[in-house]
Structure 1
Amino acid sequence: MTADSLSPEKLLTPVLSSFWDEPEPWTLATYRQNDGYAGLRKALAMDPDDVIAYVKEAGLRGRGGAGFPTGMKWQFIPQGDGKPHYLVVNADESEPGTCKDIPLLFANPHSLIEGIVIACHAIRSSHAFIYLRGEVVPVLRRLHEAVREAYGAGLLGKDALGPGKDLELTVHAGAGAYICGEETALLDSLEGRRGQPRLRPPFPAVAGLYACPTVVNNVESIASVPALMNKGKEWFRSMGSEKSPGFTLYSLSGHVARPGQYEAPLGITLRQLLDMSGGMRPGHQLKFWTPGGSSTPMLTGDHLDVPLDYEGVGEAGSMLGTKALQCFDETTCVVRAVTRWTEFYAHESCGKCTPCREGTYWLVQLLRDIEAGKATASDLEKIEDIADNINGKSFCALGDGAAAPIFSSMKYFREEYEQHLEGRGCPFDPRKSTAWADKPDSAHLEVNA
């Protein structure tokens, strides 16, 4: 039976989200009722190197954006070096449109804790850290309580990894900087310094936290390990595609009828997800969307059937990223949306490197002029030139993320930029245009992207 012949709901694969709707799903008791810590028992009975090999063979890829193979990242940790090894979980979720890790931690924190214990056994670590975005205080409190439960049950602390093998877990709340989602900036912040990207090499696997070998993984990556270990690599590979196997959480937001989290196999399409979510809001059509948050090149309605896995989205000219599917309908001004995103990146730039610090500032000035009808045709070329000077030339991926919406919006909607120049302002402004007067909700055309 092919995926196309299945009803939309049967395409979903609830694993991490399978019992979010149960009473108190965040407790240890509820987690254990749903096969909690069964994967840990299997992992602790295996040699650490065998656990790494098992995760590699399963094909689990990092769910934080880049899609790097998780088992391979664990394998990079040098053994027998006499240094402490650390596991750091990146829970600093702040990419615009991304909302998967925070709901996961709020509803099912023990899946992460179990994954941490398995990963620490694999890389021979005795101390792990969770770097959580500091603004989400309810999640912080719930995570602290879950860690307390795990210590009380002997899953953390003394002999957690076997006789004489202790494991400590520290939950650290960041101070709210987008740049700290970059792994080396996160490590600097965790050490008490200003969060700024480090020059690489050395890479974290060699000299990470406190100059010791360190693995930095996303929340969803680690939380996916327990089910993989419990149900087996063949089960995991039965979902998704050959090069992108498994299940994942898709964050569907924007002008859709039912936004939310949809856990499905990698390779599902936006068309199928929209079928499940009731489509776009009534009376409107999809205009453009992002497959992995605002830092990934936007796509259009022509890409509804692109497989949402790493290879499929890459072939379409974008990146799967964090699987933050932001959908915008025809009432949205592309220039306005790109301007708001660029303002965000300019504000969150750490200022360490010149291309990003200066480039994002000037992109904002030019985009604001275009939106206000003050720009000229030469300014469009200037914007592309500045974006090109940022892309691939910044210290970290923030610069690339700022340039991506510029390039992709120019590619698909250049005429809309030109309309702003010719009409001396935004054609979507209801005070200037009557083009949308016959729309059912024309009084609400100004969409804050």
Structure 2
Amino acid sequence: MEKRNWDDYLNTEIDCNCGEKHRCDIDKIIVEEGAIGKLSEFIMAGFYHNTCVVCDSNTEEIAGKIVYQELRNNLIQFEPIVLKEKNPLADERTIGEVMVHIAPKCDLIIGVGSGTINDVCKFISYKMGIDFIIVPTAPSMDGYASNVSALITNHLKCTYEVGRAKAIFADINILMDAPMEMIAAGVGDILGKYVCLTDWKLSSIVTGEYYCDFVEALIRDSLELVVQVSSLLKERNKDAIASLMEALILSGIAMSYIGNSRPASGSEHHLSHFWELTFLQENILCALHGTKVGIGTVVALKLYKQAELSLENLEQLKAPNFDEAIWEEAIRQVYGYAAQEVIALEEQVHKNSNEIVYKRRERIIERKEEIISLIQKLPSADEIGLILKSLDAPYLPEQVDISMQLLKNSIVYAKELRNRYGLLQLLFDLDELEKFRAQSMNEFIEMWL
């Protein structure tokens, strides 16, 4: 496998044809065997004096102790912070736990872990104004190189724009031993890009949202990388694992170039976040983020086919008829503790208002053929399902305890989490979500299955 030159992507301002300037300020990315062995050299070159290493009990055993030994061998003093929870969440409680134990003079955080550790440490380093290094323990998600942290705050999964890691030391020896469930989750997170790129382009067509072909191409590169090596991942092929990790990092760089998660998060993530929110409120442990995104991708691809059929019959559309009182009652029922923030978002942006829907419909009708052509370029739900199935990964909602009722609620209401146009809002504009909402459960199950 040819070694990627990460310097081509980092610390250089790209004057793009889209009219924007792109930049990703990460000093070092190393994806290779023995990457942790290069950690001390980077720390000493940065003249850091007060380092803390954040792990949970699992990641300390997997890689944390290797990091400790690397630092001790080079006489680098550090303070370990090991989270008490075996499976911590990226929420206020975990942030508070780290903040209670972190030294006031800390000038470098080394996070050893994957999703939760990365999001929490990145957020804290940003708030403290100090540097952050991530040592990934699994190729399970695409946030390592991004400038966002996905946190659960006030019962909602929210994305915060923060700083970036100063460096990423991805040791292939560690990543190859990651649980297959986490490797498959990384694949699921990348496969979701089929949907989010289509959502982004759809929004550009319908709402005029900014779009960048260069960043899209970067995400496409990450997709192609993973599809090419997916058949080798189950046997833990070294080059395939490295390619998956590179794809996840590329996706994060793309987010950094734009400054938000738009290129890498669409309707498939909205569905995933809605399921996660529901499980959290019911105190039920849910599947990994990338696992849910993979399933959300299969669901979204089926829904895109429904949207295509609806676009062929636009003459049957009735006038927009959004009843805010009925909507608000439903939101309070399905969102529970998080309902008020969702309602406040709609009061602020009015994305569902009859006037705004009517304007979007005019654009949809005007550019119908372009939208249909965009949808027809997508892979089928069955194709994505087969890739996930080949990794023994879940690909259907019921495989991770998502009931038909929860699936129905997510299709109808998950779009309310963000003011971000995509598939689910398109289905709303086409009256398809209202049809789903009005169906009995038996009708919904018969239609879905």
TM-score (norm 2): 0.32
Q: Give 1 or 2: higher helix fraction.
A: 2
TM-score (norm 1): 0.32
